[in-house]
């Protein structure tokens, strides 16, 4: 992505107080690239919206018009647990084992919620939020990107 496009995205964030982050994902020949621009202190699920633009590349650059402030869905009270790295998501410690967490599970800060394999190293991912898991956003053995939401947690649950 070109720097002038990123600068334009930053300007959109300055001009739109209701938008806390803009994320653009582009697919090219089965590979996905992603850019996320967010306001300082913005946390997924916090007050203020975010815009995600997903585009399968067809030999064309990502359209900035698609990232322009659009009606943003009402901010959710759910908090996301994002992937801290690129790798392969595993919901359980080993094949055939029960998943670390599933919908309805209560999680605490520091509790292991999954494993992400990166460069043949199994990394235990710990929750940074406490609450009840309301959504598992990734399927087992699926590749994940840095910052991709793995789980959505209700902190009031």
Q: Per-residue pLDDT averaged across 122-148, rounded?
A: 93
- For residues 75 and 94, the answer to whether their CB atoms sit within 8 Å is no
- Inform me whether the pLDDT recorded for 67 exceeds 70: no
Does residue 36 surpass a pLDDT of 80?
Answer: no
State which residues form the domain around 97: 79-154
- What average pLDDT does range 48-65 have in this prediction? 44
Identify each DSSP E strand in 1-157 by its residue range: 19-28, 31-38, 49-56, 79-82, 87-90, 106-107, 112-118, 121-126, 131-136, 143-144, 149-154
Residue 7 lies in a domain: yes
Would the pLDDT of 25 be above 70?
no
Which residue, among 119, 126, 131, 118, has the nearest Cα to 150 in the 3D structure? 126
Residues 6 or more apart whose CB falls under 8 angstroms from that of 125 comprise 81, 83, 84, 112, 113, 114, 115, 116, 150
| 21-38 average pLDDT score | 62
pLDDT band at residue 66 using 50, 70 and 90 as cut-offs = very low
pLDDT-based confidence at 97, cuts 50/70/90? very high
Domain annotation covers residue 44: yes
Do 139 and 119 lie in one domain? The reply is: yes
Residues 106 and 43 in one domain: no
pLDDT at 41: 53
Residue 73 falls within a domain, yes or no? Answer: no
Same domain for 142 and 111? yes
The reply to whether 83 and 149 lie within a common domain is: yes
Q: Which residue has the higher pLDDT, 144 or 14?
A: 144
- Within this chain, do residues 112 and 137 fall inside the same structural domain, yes or no? yes
The per-type count for the chain, helices as H runs and strands as E runs, is 2, 11
Domain count of the fold of the chain: 2
**More confident: 71 or 122:** 122
């Amino acid at each position: 992505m070109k720097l002038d496009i990123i600068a334009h995205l930053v300007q959109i964030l300055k001009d739109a107080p209701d938008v806390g982050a803009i994320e653009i994902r582009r697919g090219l020949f089965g590979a996905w690239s992603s850019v996320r621009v967010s306001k300082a202190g913005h946390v997924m699920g916090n007050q203020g919206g975010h815009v995600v633009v997903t585009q399968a590349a067809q030999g064309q650059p990502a359209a900035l018009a698609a990232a322009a402030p659009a009606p943003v869905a009402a901010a959710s009270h759910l908090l996301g647990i994002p992937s801290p790295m690129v790798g392969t998501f595993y919901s359980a410690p080993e094949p055939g084992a029960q998943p670390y967490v599933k919908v309805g599970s209560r999680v605490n800060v520091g509790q292991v919620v999954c494993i992400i394999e990166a460069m043949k190293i199994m990394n235990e991912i710990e929750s940074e939020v406490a609450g009840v898991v309301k959504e598992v956003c990734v399927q087992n053995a699926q590749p994940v990107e840095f910052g991709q939401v793995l789980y959505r947690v209700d902190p009031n649950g």
